[in-house]
Amino acid sequence: MSALAISSKPVSISEFKIITDKYLTVKEISKEEIETLTSSQESLFEEEVCYFISNSLLNKSDLDELVKMKLKFIGTINKNTLSSIPELIHENKIKVIKIEDEKEDYSPWDLVQAILDKTKKMDEKSLLHFSKTDNDFRFFMNVLEKDIFRFLLLKVKDQKEVAEIFNEKVDFKYKIALKRISKIDDKTVVRLIDLLWRVDSINSKQFDEETSKRALISLSYI
């Protein structure tokens, strides 16, 4: 398992004790050394190594490289980076540790899935988390809107064109979006977008936690 701490500055390895205890070998490296690592360093005949990036905050490019090499790692990211990588965290089952209050953070991806895929169950803790404050709610709505518009653009453009528009890589999100094309009709999309805009209009005047929670639940019933 890999893990990321959320902090404005790099945290010590002691914050990751729950992770490091699972490995016989934890190797401390600098951020600059990431590019020297290769996936071939891990072998079926060697003990698994967990890399602790100690000297700097990691960005999305650093994480993309570590995930691409299928390495286990621990390090620190700030809140801005966290908001840009919800899918990466979800897909790779990366544990997120919030240093300020020692609580785990939440990824919006499961909640997005529950709204757009009726076979998925909405997680109550995620629902409460993303409807609790104006910032959390707006962050989630931005992720949801982006997912919907990605799906719509894939109806008329190829994956590479859409990825360029969103300045992102073609990954598992695109496979899921392509599957939705045959499952979500145009009327449902119009209703989703209409409700998204109405909710945004209401909350732009005055944020209300209960109203936001009901709005997310309503979206899951469309």
Percent of the chain with pLDDT over 90: 20
DSSP character string of 1-42 = --EEEE-SSPPPGGGGHHHHTT-SEEEEE-GGGGGG--GGG-
Pair 115, 199: CB distance under 8 Å = no
Over 50: is that where the pLDDT of 168 sits?
A: yes
pLDDT tens-digit map of 5-34: 888 778 888 778 767 777 768 888 988 888
pLDDT band at 101 (very low <50, low <70, confident <90, very high): very low
What's at 33, amino acid-wise? Answer: E
Percent of the chain with pLDDT over 70: 92
Neighbours of 138 (CB within 10 A): 16
pLDDT tens-digit map of 74-95: 999 988 899 899 999 999 999 8
Is the pTM value of this prediction over 0.85?
A: no
Over 80: is that where the pLDDT of 55 sits?
A: no
Please provide the average confidence, as pLDDT, over all residues in the chain: 84
Residue with tokens 């890589």: 169
Question: Domain-by-domain residue ranges, the chain?
Answer: 3-105, 110-220
Q: Which are the contacts of 139, defined by CB distance < 8 A and separation ≥ 6? A: 83, 108, 130
**Average pLDDT of 38-65?**
76
Q: Hey, what's the torsion of the CAs at 16, 20, 21, 23, to 10 degrees?
A: 160
What's at 93, amino acid-wise? Answer: K
CA distance 159 to 137: 28
Sequence-separated contacts (24+) of 198-202 with Cβ below 8 Å: 199/141, 200/141
Between strands 49-57 and 25-29, the pairing is parallel
> What integer pLDDT is reported at residue 39 of this predicted model?
62
CA distance 112 to 135: 17
Neighbours of 142 (CB within 10 A): 12
pLDDT band at 200 (very low <50, low <70, confident <90, very high): confident
Between strands 103-104 and 95-98, the pairing is antiparallel
CATH fold of 110-220: Zinc Finger, Delta Prime; domain 3 (1.20.272)
Between strands 95-98 and 3-6, the pairing is parallel
